[in-house]
Amino acid sequence: MCCNKLSEAAAAKFAELDAFIDGLGLDLKDERRRGRLIQILHHAQDVFGYLPREVQQHVAEKMQIPESSVSGVVSFYNFFSTKPKGKYVINVCLGTACYVKGSEGVLRELERVLGVKADTDPTPDGLFSLMALRCVGCCGLAPVMVVNGKVYGKMTPAKAVAVVEEIKAKEAKA
Ligand code: FES
Protein backbone atom coordinates (compact mmCIF):
# COMPACT_ATOMS: atom_id res chain seq x y z
CA MET A 1 0.00 0.00 0.00
CA CYS A 2 1.08 3.57 -0.53
CA CYS A 3 3.22 4.75 2.41
CA ASN A 4 1.62 8.21 2.56
CA LYS A 5 -0.45 8.82 5.63
CA LEU A 6 -3.97 7.87 4.66
CA SER A 7 -7.06 9.75 5.62
CA GLU A 8 -9.53 7.74 7.65
CA ALA A 9 -11.87 7.61 4.67
CA ALA A 10 -9.15 6.30 2.37
CA ALA A 11 -8.02 3.77 4.97
CA ALA A 12 -11.59 2.49 5.27
CA LYS A 13 -11.78 2.08 1.50
CA PHE A 14 -8.52 0.15 1.38
CA ALA A 15 -9.77 -2.02 4.25
CA GLU A 16 -12.98 -2.72 2.33
CA LEU A 17 -11.01 -3.63 -0.76
CA ASP A 18 -8.73 -5.90 1.29
CA ALA A 19 -11.72 -7.64 2.83
CA PHE A 20 -13.13 -8.26 -0.65
CA ILE A 21 -9.85 -9.64 -1.98
CA ASP A 22 -9.28 -11.75 1.14
CA GLY A 23 -12.80 -13.09 0.79
CA LEU A 24 -11.92 -14.50 -2.62
CA GLY A 25 -9.41 -16.83 -0.97
CA LEU A 26 -6.80 -16.41 -3.70
CA ASP A 27 -4.02 -18.93 -3.81
CA LEU A 28 -0.97 -16.71 -4.29
CA LYS A 29 1.00 -19.60 -5.72
CA ASP A 30 -1.60 -20.28 -8.40
CA GLU A 31 -1.19 -18.40 -11.70
CA ARG A 32 -4.96 -18.65 -12.22
CA ARG A 33 -5.45 -15.97 -9.55
CA ARG A 34 -4.86 -13.45 -12.38
CA GLY A 35 -8.27 -14.50 -13.72
CA ARG A 36 -9.83 -12.65 -10.77
CA LEU A 37 -8.11 -9.36 -11.61
CA ILE A 38 -11.00 -7.80 -13.56
CA GLN A 39 -13.48 -8.70 -10.82
CA ILE A 40 -11.19 -7.16 -8.20
CA LEU A 41 -10.66 -4.01 -10.23
CA HIS A 42 -14.42 -3.63 -10.72
CA HIS A 43 -14.87 -3.80 -6.98
CA ALA A 44 -12.00 -1.39 -6.40
CA GLN A 45 -13.58 1.08 -8.82
CA ASP A 46 -16.93 0.74 -7.05
CA VAL A 47 -15.22 1.49 -3.73
CA PHE A 48 -12.93 4.33 -4.82
CA GLY A 49 -14.92 5.68 -7.76
CA TYR A 50 -11.89 5.30 -10.02
CA LEU A 51 -8.55 3.52 -10.13
CA PRO A 52 -5.68 5.86 -9.25
CA ARG A 53 -2.11 4.53 -9.30
CA GLU A 54 -1.98 3.81 -5.56
CA VAL A 55 -5.05 1.59 -5.83
CA GLN A 56 -3.54 -0.28 -8.77
CA GLN A 57 -0.30 -0.72 -6.79
CA HIS A 58 -2.25 -1.99 -3.83
CA VAL A 59 -4.11 -4.56 -5.91
CA ALA A 60 -0.83 -5.70 -7.47
CA GLU A 61 0.74 -6.15 -4.02
CA LYS A 62 -2.26 -7.99 -2.62
CA MET A 63 -2.37 -10.34 -5.59
CA GLN A 64 1.42 -10.57 -5.80
CA ILE A 65 1.48 -9.82 -9.48
CA PRO A 66 3.45 -7.09 -11.33
CA GLU A 67 1.97 -3.62 -11.25
CA SER A 68 2.34 -3.53 -15.04
CA SER A 69 -0.16 -6.42 -15.29
CA VAL A 70 -2.71 -4.37 -13.40
CA SER A 71 -2.12 -1.12 -15.28
CA GLY A 72 -2.27 -3.04 -18.57
CA VAL A 73 -5.76 -4.31 -17.78
CA VAL A 74 -6.92 -0.92 -16.51
CA SER A 75 -5.80 0.85 -19.66
CA PHE A 76 -7.16 -1.87 -21.98
CA TYR A 77 -10.78 -1.77 -20.81
CA ASN A 78 -12.59 1.51 -21.24
CA PHE A 79 -14.95 0.80 -18.33
CA PHE A 80 -12.01 1.38 -16.00
CA SER A 81 -11.10 4.96 -15.24
CA THR A 82 -7.92 6.35 -13.72
CA LYS A 83 -9.48 9.75 -13.19
CA PRO A 84 -12.15 10.71 -10.68
CA LYS A 85 -15.65 11.02 -12.07
CA GLY A 86 -18.43 13.38 -11.17
CA LYS A 87 -21.16 12.36 -8.74
CA TYR A 88 -23.45 11.99 -11.75
CA VAL A 89 -22.06 10.30 -14.83
CA ILE A 90 -24.04 11.25 -17.92
CA ASN A 91 -23.54 8.91 -20.85
CA VAL A 92 -24.92 9.91 -24.21
CA CYS A 93 -25.21 7.10 -26.74
CA LEU A 94 -23.62 7.80 -30.10
CA GLY A 95 -24.44 4.36 -31.50
CA THR A 96 -25.97 4.35 -34.97
CA ALA A 97 -29.66 4.30 -33.99
CA CYS A 98 -29.16 7.13 -31.51
CA TYR A 99 -26.87 9.10 -33.76
CA VAL A 100 -29.31 9.18 -36.67
CA LYS A 101 -32.00 10.42 -34.30
CA GLY A 102 -29.90 13.32 -33.11
CA SER A 103 -27.90 12.18 -30.08
CA GLU A 104 -24.91 14.21 -31.15
CA GLY A 105 -27.01 17.34 -30.73
CA VAL A 106 -27.91 16.19 -27.21
CA LEU A 107 -24.23 15.68 -26.41
CA ARG A 108 -23.17 19.06 -27.79
CA GLU A 109 -25.89 20.84 -25.85
CA LEU A 110 -24.81 19.12 -22.64
CA GLU A 111 -21.20 20.11 -23.33
CA ARG A 112 -22.36 23.70 -23.73
CA VAL A 113 -24.52 23.74 -20.60
CA LEU A 114 -22.04 21.89 -18.39
CA GLY A 115 -19.01 23.71 -19.76
CA VAL A 116 -16.97 20.52 -20.23
CA LYS A 117 -16.10 18.39 -23.22
CA ALA A 118 -17.29 14.79 -23.33
CA ASP A 119 -14.83 12.16 -22.10
CA THR A 120 -12.68 14.66 -20.24
CA ASP A 121 -12.61 15.90 -16.64
CA PRO A 122 -15.74 16.32 -14.52
CA THR A 123 -17.37 19.71 -14.05
CA PRO A 124 -15.38 21.89 -11.60
CA ASP A 125 -18.02 21.36 -8.89
CA GLY A 126 -17.47 17.61 -9.18
CA LEU A 127 -21.14 17.05 -9.91
CA PHE A 128 -21.12 15.81 -13.50
CA SER A 129 -18.99 13.74 -15.84
CA LEU A 130 -20.07 13.69 -19.46
CA MET A 131 -19.27 10.67 -21.57
CA ALA A 132 -20.10 9.44 -25.07
CA LEU A 133 -20.63 5.75 -25.58
CA ARG A 134 -21.79 3.25 -28.16
CA CYS A 135 -25.03 1.32 -28.18
CA VAL A 136 -26.41 0.60 -24.73
CA GLY A 137 -28.97 -1.88 -26.05
CA CYS A 138 -32.04 0.36 -25.87
CA CYS A 139 -32.14 1.38 -29.54
CA GLY A 140 -35.96 1.48 -29.53
CA LEU A 141 -35.69 4.46 -27.18
CA ALA A 142 -33.18 6.35 -29.33
CA PRO A 143 -31.73 8.81 -28.74
CA VAL A 144 -30.70 7.50 -25.34
CA MET A 145 -28.93 9.06 -22.38
CA VAL A 146 -27.95 7.15 -19.23
CA VAL A 147 -27.34 8.91 -15.90
CA ASN A 148 -25.82 6.74 -13.16
CA GLY A 149 -27.41 3.70 -14.74
CA LYS A 150 -30.87 5.24 -15.24
CA VAL A 151 -31.93 5.21 -18.88
CA TYR A 152 -33.62 8.25 -20.44
CA GLY A 153 -35.13 7.65 -23.87
CA LYS A 154 -36.32 9.82 -26.78
CA MET A 155 -34.01 12.59 -25.67
CA THR A 156 -33.80 16.04 -27.14
CA PRO A 157 -31.26 18.71 -26.22
CA ALA A 158 -33.96 20.49 -24.17
CA LYS A 159 -34.98 17.31 -22.33
CA ALA A 160 -31.35 16.54 -21.51
CA VAL A 161 -30.85 20.01 -20.07
CA ALA A 162 -34.03 19.58 -18.02
CA VAL A 163 -32.59 16.39 -16.50
CA VAL A 164 -29.41 18.26 -15.57
CA GLU A 165 -31.40 21.11 -14.05
CA GLU A 166 -33.49 18.65 -12.05
CA ILE A 167 -30.32 17.06 -10.62
CA LYS A 168 -28.84 20.47 -9.81
CA ALA A 169 -32.03 21.49 -8.01
CA LYS A 170 -32.03 18.24 -6.02
CA GLU A 171 -28.40 18.73 -5.05
CA ALA A 172 -28.98 22.35 -4.05
CA LYS A 173 -31.62 21.16 -1.56
CA ALA A 174 -29.46 18.34 -0.18
S1 FES B 1 -27.62 2.92 -30.62
FE2 FES B 1 -28.09 3.97 -28.81
S3 FES B 1 -29.05 2.46 -27.61
FE4 FES B 1 -28.49 1.40 -29.40
Strand order of the β-sheet with 88-93 is: 128-133, 88-93, 145-147, 150-152
Could you give the number of structural domains in the chain? 2
Does one domain contain both 56 and 120? Answer: no
Does one domain contain both 93 and 166? Answer: yes
Assigned domain for 168 exists: yes
Q: Which tens digits make up the pLDDT trace of 75-123?
A: 998 788 898 889 999 999 999 999 999 999 999 999 999 999 998 889 9
Does one domain contain both 102 and 69? Answer: no
User: Counting atoms of ligand 1 from 1, which one is nearest the CA of 141?
Assistant: 3
**Bridge partner list, 129:** 89
Assigned domain for 82 exists: no
The pLDDT of residue 4: 52
Task: Look at the pTM and tell me if it is higher than 0.75.
Answer: no
Q: How far is CA 134 from the centre of its chain?
A: 15
Q: Which residue range(s) make up the domain with 99?
A: 88-173
Does one domain contain both 124 and 159? Answer: yes
Select from 78, 88, 173 the least CA-distant residue to 125: 88
Ligand 1 pocket mutation, candidates 135, 145, 151, 155, criterion most atoms within 8 A of CB: 135
